[in-house]
Chains A and B, each alone.
Chain A
Amino acid sequence: MKRNYQLIEHTADIGMKVKGRDLESLFVNAAKAMFEIIAQRKSTSKSKSTTVRIKQNADSIDELFINWLNELLSLSDARGLIFFDFKIKSIDTVSINADVFGNTAAQYRLKSEIKAATYHQLNLKKTDSSWVAEVIFDV
């Protein structure tokens, strides 16, 4: 599968650079990339997934991005789910409303534990044709 992100070298942790044609796809791609770092599906057989609704508000787009990723990590750990699909119902620079779909962690080979997304060297920017984000995770 083609990766939609690049890893950023960091001595103790892991960083990633991810793109999206708009804000919605940036947030979806970042979430997908994060769970690709965490886990790999063991089998492709269809199974019933769990849907979780996420609503986040923030004071800035940076904050919204970090809150979105950390909320996903938190729910994943608390519920034992690996999220694989993300349907954003509405998004602007300070709020997001999404349905996210997860399978039980038992269906995956767990590769890395990500403790959290951090503000350290966080860089979100809009270019002419896309959005780009760089983020460092605590692993």
Chain B
Amino acid sequence: MSEIWQGSLEKIDECRFRIPQSYKAGMRVPGIIYTDEKLLKDIRQDKSLEQVANVAFLPGIVKASLAMPDIHWGYGFPIGGVAATDVENEGVISPGGVGFDINCGVRLVKTDLTYDDIKNRIKDLAARLFSDVPAGVGSRGDIRVSAREEKEILVKGACWAVEKGFGIEEDLECTEENGAMAGADPGAVSDRAYERGKAQSGTLGSGNHFLEIQVIDQLYDAGVCDALGLFEGQVTVMIHSGSRGLGYQICDDYVRNMVHCLQKYNIKVPDRQLACAPVDSPEGKSYLGAMRCAANYAWANRQCLMHLTRLAFEKVLGKHWEKLGMRLIYDVAHNIAKIETHTVDGKEKKVCVHRKGATRAFAPGHPALPERYKKTGQPVIIPGDMGRNSYLLVGTQKAMDETFGSTCHGAGRVKSRTEATRTVDVNVLLKGLAAKGITVLASGKGTIAEEAPEAYKDVNDVVKVAHNAGIAKRVCRMRPLGVIKG
């Protein structure tokens, strides 16, 4: 890996560190990293902290360039980066601050099943999911749509899927933005993006995307668990996917465009992957309209994937999914830019919040939350790795006060894919996972090695920092039973 980062870092408290604004000429705000001494050792090994400082160059950035506890090296923005820019004061929007997989996100489905109910059927369920849910590099699905219908998906998002019979109204209520961002502009999407999106609805994709059967193994907040209908030993399903080729193309199209905006708007950033334009500029507005299309496509995609999951459970267990209690807890985006209102220096400001590998974590009472989560706060879903745990948390007022209502999004990689491939013996890994009662099915062995637990930080450590810092509150923990990888 690279050299240890030697830049300037000040400890604020046990969970917060600061890169002072003076670290680099051109930084408009300081960098704040939510981490502890233990996680910091790994964070210093790569260039993610330099990227936190680079993001602080963005015109209009307010408060700080923030990094969540799962921060690691990305391209342009760090993964785990959060940056808000003042929309009414030359604030910019950067496609690199969202990433190529626009609205890559995760949803959590609960069931009425207990571990004992399915412990002898896990392999059957995993096999059925593996056969019925298209996964893998360049996977194409059975859900084919016409050009007119694709435009509809870009505007209606998950609502399109529900209208097609791939879910129920309640699913939309339990999805961030109700599964469709307003302001999507299909006219801002290129023909190539349409072409790439056509055959990929209802496909999982590859890389770190997965579908996982899990069991709740620890409760942290009994009150919230009761409110959400969750209990120890309960079976859940987690789905992690994004906007597939359509999102990649939209990001590519707009990075191409915005590289030229740097000169046009006289913007100086230390990395061209931070290419950006004022939110209110024609280029900024056009990107926002296209990005929202990709976000909606991703919500439709995860809705379709959940539908296929429900059907797979029906086939194996011989009961309608509603009888199995397969209800959506929530669906969150973790690569997105949103225009939101937040309090900055005591004043309400309209800001463009970039969450690049970060999850929205709105507090109880926030108007964007559905009635059912008004008291608990927004459910926050944190996937871990295939051998350890995943978490459900809820948003907090502290997240609103400090991080523009944001928290971490996963464990965060610690080993490169090449290093993992070089060092992980897949057969030994699979044997070890099987001994822990975890079935893994993947399109290729390469993905299993790349995604091995040792390639990730321990999600338990990452979530502990988020919880202790108060930028989300632990609700319960899950462990994997059956994992489907692309």
Contacts and interface: CB of A to CB of B under 8 A. Distances in A.
Classify chain B's interface size. Answer: 35 or more
Contacts of B251: 116
A78 B192 contact: yes
Nearest to B248: A115
Nearest to A138: B100
Contacts of A39: 137
A10 B73 contact: yes
B72 interface: yes
A77 B248 contact: yes
Contacts of A73: 248
A136 interface: yes
Interface string A105-136: 10001111101101111100000000000001
B336 to A, nearest CB: 16
A74 interface: yes
B137 A113 contact: yes
Contact of B413 (A12, A121, A138): A12
Interface string B447-486: 0001000000000000000000000000000000000001
B252 A116 contact: yes
B138 A77 contact: yes
Contact of B252 (A7, A74, A122): A74
Given A9-B418, A78-B192, A110 B444 contact: yes
A63 B205 contact: no
Contacts of A54: none
Contacts of B419: 9
Given A74-B192, A74-B196, A119 B275 contact: yes
A63 to B, nearest CB: 6
A61 interface: no
A113 B446 contact: no
A116 B205 CA distance: 15
A105 to B, nearest CB: 6
Given A63-B259, A138-B99, A7 B418 contact: yes
B249 A119 contact: no
Nearest to A111: B446
A92 interface: no
Contact of B207 (A105, A113, A119): A113
Nearest to B1: A9
Contacts of A109: 444
B137 A112 contact: yes
A11 interface: yes
Nearest to A139: B207
B195 A111 contact: no
A131 B46 CA distance: 27
Interface string A8-23: 0111111000000000
A14 B417 contact: yes
Given A113-B206, A118-B76, A78 B195 contact: yes
Given A11-B46, A116-B251, A119-B272, A59 B260 contact: yes
A9 B2 contact: yes
B101 interface: yes
Contact of A9 (B138, B256, B416, B486): B416
Contacts of A63: 256, 259
Given A113-B137, A120-B273, A139-B207, A11 B418 contact: no
A121 B255 CA distance: 15
A118 B248 CA distance: 12
A113 B418 CA distance: 14
Classify chain A's interface size. Answer: 35 or more
A39 B76 CA distance: 27
A38 B137 CA distance: 9
A22 B233 CA distance: 62
Interface in A64-98: 67, 70, 73-74, 77-78, 80
Contacts of B275: 119
A138 to B, nearest CB: 5
B289 interface: no
A41 to B, nearest CB: 15
A70 B48 CA distance: 24
A95 B395 CA distance: 50
A59 B263 CA distance: 12
Interface in B56-77: 72-76
Nearest to A11: B73
Contacts of B196: 74, 77-78
Interface string B415-439: 1111100000000000000000000
Contact of A12 (B74, B140, B192): B74
A74 B191 CA distance: 12
Given A112-B450, A138-B75, 8 more contacts: A10-B416, A14-B418, A73-B248, A74-B248, A77-B138, A115-B101, A116-B100, A119-B259
Interface of B: 1-2, 46, 48, 72-76, 79, 96, 99-101, 136-138, 140, 192, 195-196, 205-207, 245, 248-249, 251-252, 255-256, 259-260, 271-273, 275, 413-419, 443-444, 446, 450, 486
20 contacts: A7-B418, A9-B2, A11-B46, A11-B73, A11-B414, A11-B415, A13-B74, A39-B137, A70-B252, A77-B138, A77-B248, A78-B192, A110-B443, A111-B137, A111-B444, A111-B446, A113-B486, A115-B101, A115-B248, A138-B75
Interface of A: 7, 9-14, 38-39, 59, 62-63, 67, 70, 73-74, 77-78, 80, 105, 109-113, 115-116, 118-122, 136, 138-139
Top 7 closest pairs, chain A to chain B, by CB: A120-B75, A110-B137, A119-B272, A118-B75, A115-B100, A11-B73, A78-B195
